[in-house]
Amino acid sequence: MNVLITGGIGYIGSHTCVQLIKSGHTPVIIDNLCNSKASVLQRIEQLTGHKPTFYNGDVRDAALLDKIFAEHRIDSVIHFAALKAVGESVNKPLEYYDNNIHGSLTLVDAMRRAGVKNFIFSSSATVYGDQPITPYVETMETRRPSSPYGNSKLIIEQCLEDIQKAQPDMSVALLRYFNPVGAHSSGLMGEDPQGIPNNLMPFIAQVAVGRRECLSIFGNDYPTPDGTCVRDYIHVVDVADGHVAALNKVTNHPGTYVYNLGAGFGYSVLDVVNAFSKACGKPVPYQFAPRRGGDLASYWADSTKAANELGWQVKLNLDDMCADTWRWQSMNPQGYPDE
């Protein structure tokens, strides 16, 4: 199948390209490189023997999308391209709503013009909002997330449901990721945040490799077993495989489908720090710091639906996530090369 991957140079997008190629699919990438480097393409080629066709551009560029759909017989679209920093979104809501919502709508409109009917959307567990029940299951109602980033994901989900109802021959899969971490086991691909990492695993990795002095753990007085927040960490290659499974399920089966992509259990921040220390063979220095605004104490996924309907389940555990992140970070201390 020819699959247009928006944001295919990015962290989850690049791992998904590799897994798609290994499953016999042909990705075509559009990415504006706002948070990624084109050298990822060589890594994809190194890992698969195939260099995907790449368009350097933005999903809000309708003319470019028309050109791509005219040049390739695209069967399905997987839409990753978005801004994703929760804190930044609070200060730049317009940019987030424009990139994420306007971008998604422009893309779906171009698909309609081109007659492309299969769409997989990169959503987030953040759409469950602040609910005191865990695990999160797809039958739960969504709630307004606290950040514009999260809200953009929820609004896009709602738009897609309405659009699918009005275009009943469309297939839409909404994949709600929990906390994707880890890297390709080769050490050739991984997460390469620009600037100071916002997320836990890349921050730990940069401390371990000596780029930063000490991890601040945001809060040790939560109502959790060790006082630090609990999350459902999932290996990025398992997330990528979830997309391949969803593609096989929804393609040409019209409807809207919602799946959690999580491991189904939670680890605390201290669990992750300890597992990483084991993986890199030295203690990762940390200090306790005040809570970070907007963090929830504890949540994880019920991933039964994806297991039953997609035949998908995670294969990799926390030790794999840490070992692979460490291999990637130690082989590429400064991330991807510029070219």
Q: Give Cα 144 to chain centroid, integer Å.
A: 20
Element (H, E) at 212: none
- List of residues 6+ apart from 263 with CB closer than 8 A: 178, 232, 233, 234, 238, 300, 301, 303, 314, 317
The smaller minimum CB distance to ligand UD1, of residues 16 and 147, is found at 147
- Dihedral of CA 296/311/316/81: which sign? negative
216 binds ligand UD1 (CB under 6 A): yes
Q: Quick check: 258 binds ligand UD1 (CB under 6 A)?
A: no
For ligand UD1 (CB under 6 A), the number of binding residues is: 21
Judge whether 59 and 107 are in contact, CB under 8 Å. yes
Looking at residues 81 to 100 of the shown chain, list those that interact with ligand UD1 (rule: CB under 6 A): 84, 86
Q: How far is the CB of 135 from ligand UD1 (least distance, A)?
A: 15
Closer residue to ligand UD1 (CB): 8 or 150: 150
- DSSP code per residue over 156-195: HHHHHHHHHHHSTT-EEEEEEE-EEE---TTSS-----SS
Instruction: Return the residues of window 34-73 that contact ligand UD1 according to CB under 6 A.
Output: none
Please report, as residue ranges, which positions from 104 to 123 form the binding site for ligand UD1 (by CB under 6 A).
none
Binding segment for ligand UD1 (CB under 6 A), chosen from 35-43, 158-166, 183-191, 212-220, is: 212-220
**Alpha-carbon distance 113 to 192, whole Å?**
35
Q: Could you give the residue ranges of the DSSP H alpha helices within the chain?
A: 11-22, 40-48, 62-71, 86-91, 93-96, 103-114, 148-166, 200-208, 236-250, 269-280, 304-310, 318-331
Binds ligand UD1 by CB under 6 A, chosen from 37, 231, 243, 249: 231
Window 270-299: residues binding ligand UD1 (CB under 6 A): 292, 295
Which is nearer to ligand UD1, 187 or 294 (by Cβ)?
A: 294
Please check whether residue 178 is in contact with residue 264, taking contact to mean a CB–CB distance below 8 angstroms.
Answer: no
Rounded alpha-carbon distances, angstroms, from residue 107 to 62, 176, 213: 7, 19, 42
Which phi and psi angles does 177 have, rounded to 5°?
-80, 145
Tell whether the torsion through CA atoms of 335, 337, 338 and 339 is positive or negative.
negative
Could you tell me which residues are beta bridge partners of residue 118? 76, 171
Q: What sign results for the dihedral spanned by CA atoms 94, 100, 103, 108?
A: negative
The span of 214-222, 237-245, 251-259, 303-311 binding ligand UD1 (CB under 6 A) equals 214-222
Among 76, 124, 256, 260, binds ligand UD1 (CB under 6 A): 124
In the complex, the smallest distance separating the C-beta of residue 46 from ligand UD1, rounded to whole angstroms, is: 26
According to the binding rule CB under 6 A, does residue 304 interact with ligand UD1?
no
Tell me which of 41, 173, 269, 306 binds ligand UD1, using CB under 6 A: 269
Site membership for ligand UD1, residue 200 (CB under 6 A): yes
Taking CB atoms, the residue at the shortest distance from ligand UD1 is 229
Nearer to ligand UD1, 86 or 108 (CB): 86
Instruction: List, by residue number, the catalytic residues.
Output: 149
State the minimum distance, in angstroms, from the CB of residue 115 to ligand UD1.
32
Question: Which of the stretches 21-29, 34-42, 197-205, 307-315 binds ligand UD1 when contact is defined by CB under 6 A?
Answer: 197-205
Least spacing, CB of residue 256 vs ligand UD1, in Å: 21
Binding site for ligand UD1 (CB under 6 A): 84, 86, 124, 126, 147, 150, 177, 179, 198-200, 203, 215-218, 229, 231, 269, 292, 295
